[in-house]
Every structure is written in C-alpha cells, then in structure tokens.
Chain A
Amino acid sequence: MRIRWIVMCAACGVLIALGPGPLSPYGAMIAWTLLLQGTFALSYDILGGYGGELHLGHGSFFGIGVYTSALAITHGAAWWWAVPAAGLAGGAAAGLFYPLLVPLRGVPFALVSLGLLLSCGLLARNLAGITGGTAGLSLPSAFDMDGPYLWSILLFAGTLWVHDSIPDSRFGRALCAAAVDPEAAASSGVPTGHVRGRALVLGAVAAALAGGIYPLPMAYVSPQSAFGLEVALAPVVAVLLGGPASRWGPLLGVVLYTGLQEWLWTRGWQWSLAMTGMGLMAAGVFLPRGLAGLVSGSR
C-alpha cells in the first residue's frame, strides 16, 4: 500500500513538474481527457461499484458542474473560483436528490437516476435564458492548458486516493455491507441510508469538479456535451468494462474505452454513441464482473 502510494505521488509530482509542455497539443488533450474520464469513472465507482447500484444518473452531476463553471466564467468569475463552485453545486444537487435516490435500490434506483439525468438535460435545453438552450454557452475564450491540466492531476490524484481508501475504511466496509445485504448491515448497526447518501454526495462532488474543469479548454458547452447520454454513460461503460468495485478496474476501463474511441475517431469512425451502446451490451453479456474480474483482481 505504502509503496504504491509513494509511486503514485512521485508520478503525480513528475506530471505536475513537467506540465503539458513536453506533449504535443493533441497529446496534452488526450492526457487531460484520460485524467478527467478517470476522475469521472472513479467517482462513479464509489456508489456504482462499492455501493452496488447502477447509477445511470451520475452524469447529471458532471453536467451540473459543467454548467456551473461555464456560467460562473461567463459572468466574470476567474476559473479557479468557477471550478470549486462547480463542486459545491454538485454536492448541493446530490443533497437535493438524496431523498429521491437513497431509499431506492436496484432497477428503481437506476430508473429514477436516469430520470434525473434526462430531467437535467431537459432543463438545460429549455431554460434558454440561463443555459443558452440547445445553442449552448460560449466562454469568453479558451484557457491555456497549463492550469486545467494541473488541476486535473490534483483532482484525479485526490479521487484516486478516496477511491483507493474505501475498501480499508470503516465507511467503505459499511458501504459494501449495505450493498451486499442491507438488512443484515442495518441489523448490525450500519446506518445504510446515511452511508449510501455519503457515497452519493462524495461521488457527486468529484464528478462535478471534473465537470467544472471540462469547459476550460473547450470554451463552449451545450446540453449534449454536458448531459448527453454518450457523455453521461461513459463512466458506467468504463467501470463495467474494467470491473466495478476494484482498485484498478475503472482506470483500466477508461484507458481501454477512451483509447478505442480515440483510435476510431482518428480513423474517421465517429460512432461514439453506438460504441457506448456496444460497450454496455458487451459488458452485460460477457463481462458481468468486468476485465478486473477476469484477471481475478476484483474484490
């Protein structure tokens, strides 16, 4: 454990020290995408993996982060204020959704969380006075990659640390117990609702922070780029491919999924939604425990 963390800290230090400079603009964008997608997938895995729920609405927190950050910047805030504001907005939204989601389990949970995602998309499309509607919002200008890249590394490292600590923590054990047998967990004194609620908020804040960083180099956000199904379901596919509730599964899934998408994209195959769909179907048929389950690394 300690050696892995020393290696991780050293790797983060090197990445921060070098910055995106040594990479080509395309390479820097890929590294940044991997960091954000990694954060998004790890945040999903807290409730979607360890919590045992199919959290299809997790992407709504990412989208809320995207819009909060974009709106803050268009209203004159500096980006380093906009990103924490996105995290706060994500946490507040999770607190709002808490009474709807936390008492539910299984398919009803998945359906209601999907309903939340669709409702957020509907609001983003229709509240044109605030969000710009289907035309989206343009930021004053695209930001230099250095700042967002540094923040992405820090956010990724922080989320990885939280995700990695879950199995060995009291909270993590309670979360796993609530996922496996909620009645037994409750009778053993585990406050299952509270634990699941904490997991929801924790994942939401990390996803919203990732969403907050997302618009910085893009300089443009739209309902499709914030709440679109291909964006919102990408972490679900990555985690299911890599292996839910495993230490490296979500990251393995992100590298494979993003890598394959990018490879196809550079060859003119722009079928990201279909690929997400095929990934979900493949995960459902062949990989109920993901690749990490095949390699016996899952817990």
Chain B
Amino acid sequence: MSFDLQTLLGGLYLGALYGTAAVGFQVVLGSSGRVHLAYGHMWIAWALLLSSVHVVGSVPLPAVLPVMVAAGWFVGWFLHPVVLWRGPLSNERATSFFLITLGAALVIEDAGSRLWPLPGTAMAWAPEPFVLAGVTLPRAKLALMGAALITSLGVHLFLKRNRWGMALRAWDRGRAPVYLAGVSPESLGRRAAGLGFALSALAGGFLALSYTVSIREGMAMTVRALVLAVLGGTLSPLGVLGLGMGMGVGEAFVGQVLGMRWGPAVGYGLLLFLLPVLERRRT
C-alpha cells in the first residue's frame, strides 16, 4: 500500500513538471496556432544549463533560477518573433514553422549532446523528508509540486483577468476580436512567446532540481507537452496541469510494471491514438 502511494506521489510530482512545461507550450501553441517542435529540447537545455551554472559555477540556486526565467522571457520576447512571427515566414504555410522548429530541435540536440555528453545530474536539493501514515513525503518534491500549481494558477488568472491574457484567448479563436479590441498582434505574439519560454525555463529549473535528464529526451518531452496542450483544452492551464499529473501517474505505474524506460510510451500512445480521434471529431 505504502509502496503504491509512493509511486502515486512520484507520478503526481513528475506530472506536475510535465504540466508546468505544457502550460508554456500551450501559450505558444495558442498564440501561433502552430506546434513548436523545439520546445522540449529548450526545456531540457534550460535544466542542464541550470545544473551546470549551479554546480560548476557554484552560483546559488535562488540567483540562477530567476535569471534563467528572465533569459527564457528574453528568448521569447526578442529572438523568437523575429524568426517565426515577423520574419519572411509570417504568411508562409504552417509547414515552414514546423520545419524551422524541428530543425532547431536537432541543432539544440546536437550542440547539447556535445556540451553535456552525459545526462545532467539531479541537483543536491533534498531537504529532510517526513513520514505521514507510513508514507515518506519528500519536502522538496511537495514544494515543487506546490510551485507548479501556483504557476499554473497564475497563468490561469493572467488569461482570465489580464487584458493581454484575454486578448490571447481571443486570438486563439480568431484575429478579428483582437484587432477590434485595439491590441497589437505583434506585441501579443511577443508577450505570448516571452511567457511561453519563461515557463519552459521555470519548468527546466524544476526538472534540474530532481531528475537526471539528457538532451536526447527532448523530442519525447515535446511530444508529452504537445499531448497535454492539445488534450488539456484550449488555453486551460489548470486542465493541462491536471492532465499532466494524470500522465505522470500513468508513467510511474507503467515504469513500476515494465521499467522506467517504457515511460515515454504513455505520451506516444496518447499521440498515436487520441490525436487521430480528436482530428476526426474536429473534421
């Protein structure tokens, strides 16, 4: 019983990490209407970067994480729209976006596997766990799960209450309402990309605090984020987080039965069998 609860807790925590990253992915998906295939690689690259700066550079964690989130925002705000929204592709087919992001994923994977040839080690942040009703509850994971919940709630409130957030939701349904509300689509795209990539950096930070990851897992992470973003509902951060936790629990139990190496099969299975069903319903 205790062992199953432990697995459940581990799955919930893992899913909270997936959910946090998928919320960022969904913001990018909602603003561009396109699938960003380099997102998972960026997520892991942030995790490895954080680990390197903290461990090798001996920079304290509270200093690294905010800087990294700000850097994520910078990547989204300044660089991303130049290539993908404002560049020569603004009116091109979705295929071009797809190719560019897939290409970027491969470039990051190749460069990342040279910078970090071995999987990045989980950082030594392990406060003393406590035991409740026979179940060991690690404080670090609970704290990070809480942080993931607060982050998703924050994005939820941003989308519901903030002018730009509401514009982003309107943008997802079509361009006309945004133009009518007097919102600049360019600024909206920048803000959305900034937020999306800041969230990827934050999720990378969470990942680095507890898991050993390799840049080679980038595409599997993108597929997970994609599945959660598509199935979680349109711009619904809490729905995505909830689904993420469900996926994490699924992976944990698959891992318990078949071995951890089968974990990605849950995401791939959902992609292969649910996406066609949803697409058929849509059309």
Contacts and interface: CB of A to CB of B under 8 A. Distances in A.
B4 to A, nearest CB: 24
A229 B100 CA distance: 15
Given A107-B94, A108-B276, A285-B89, A122 B265 contact: yes
A284 B106 contact: no
B272 A115 contact: yes
B89 A119 contact: no
B87 A285 contact: yes
A281 B103 contact: yes
Given A100-B276, A115-B223, A115-B268, A288 B96 contact: yes
Interface string B154-190: 0000000000000000000000000000000000000
Contacts of B226: 111
Interface in A243-299: 271-274, 276-285, 288
Contact of A119 (B35, B272, B280): B272
Interface residues of B, number: 43
A26 to B, nearest CB: 25
22 contacts: A103-B280, A104-B276, A108-B276, A108-B279, A111-B275, A115-B268, A118-B220, A119-B269, A122-B262, A122-B264, A273-B113, A274-B106, A274-B107, A274-B111, A277-B102, A277-B106, A277-B110, A280-B100, A283-B103, A284-B89, A284-B98, A284-B99
Contacts of A282: 103
A119 B273 CA distance: 12
A233 interface: yes
B261 to A, nearest CB: 5
A200 interface: no
The interface residues of chain B, by DSSP majority, are classed as helix
A54 B275 contact: no
A108 B262 contact: no
B95 interface: yes
A110 B271 CA distance: 11
Interface of A: 54, 56, 100, 103-104, 106-108, 110-112, 114-116, 118-119, 122, 125-126, 229-230, 233, 240, 271-274, 276-285, 288
A89 B34 CA distance: 34
Given A118-B220, A118-B264, A118-B268, A281 B104 contact: yes
Contacts of A110: 95, 98
Interface in B249-283: 259, 261-262, 264-265, 268-269, 271-273, 275-276, 279-280
Given A100-B276, A111-B35, 13 more contacts: A107-B95, A107-B98, A118-B223, A118-B268, A119-B269, A273-B110, A277-B103, A277-B105, A277-B108, A282-B103, A283-B103, A285-B87, A288-B95
B229 to A, nearest CB: 12
Given A274-B107, A280-B102, A107 B35 contact: yes
B238 interface: no
Contacts of B261: 125-126
B219 A280 contact: no
Among A100, A118, A240, the one with the most B-chain Cβ atoms within 10 Å of its Cβ is A118
Nearest to A283: B99
Interface string B66-109: 00000000000000000000011100111111111011111111
Among B102, B104, B113, B219, the one with the most A-chain Cβ atoms within 10 Å of its Cβ is B102
Nearest to A276: B106
B92 A288 contact: yes
A54 B276 contact: no
A54 B95 contact: yes
A100 B271 CA distance: 11
Contacts of B96: 284-285, 288
Contacts, number: 118
Given A112-B276, A277-B106, A229 B98 contact: no
Contact of B100 (A116, A118, A281): A281
Contacts of B87: 285
Given A54-B95, A284-B89, A285-B88, A115 B271 contact: yes
Contacts of B92: 284, 288
Among B95, B265, B273, the one with the most A-chain Cβ atoms within 10 Å of its Cβ is B95
A125 B220 CA distance: 14
Contacts of A107: 34-35, 94-95, 98
A107 B95 CA distance: 7
Among B97, B103, B111, B226, the one with the most A-chain Cβ atoms within 10 Å of its Cβ is B103
A160 to B, nearest CB: 26
Given A104-B276, A111-B275, A285-B87, A279 B219 contact: no
B75 to A, nearest CB: 16
B219 A118 contact: yes
A119 B265 contact: yes
Given A103-B280, A118-B220, A284-B100, A111 B107 contact: no
A281 to B, nearest CB: 3
Nearest to A54: B95
Contacts of B113: 273
A122 B219 CA distance: 12
Nearest to A106: B94
Contacts of B273: 100
A278 B99 contact: no
A116 B95 CA distance: 19
A240 to B, nearest CB: 7
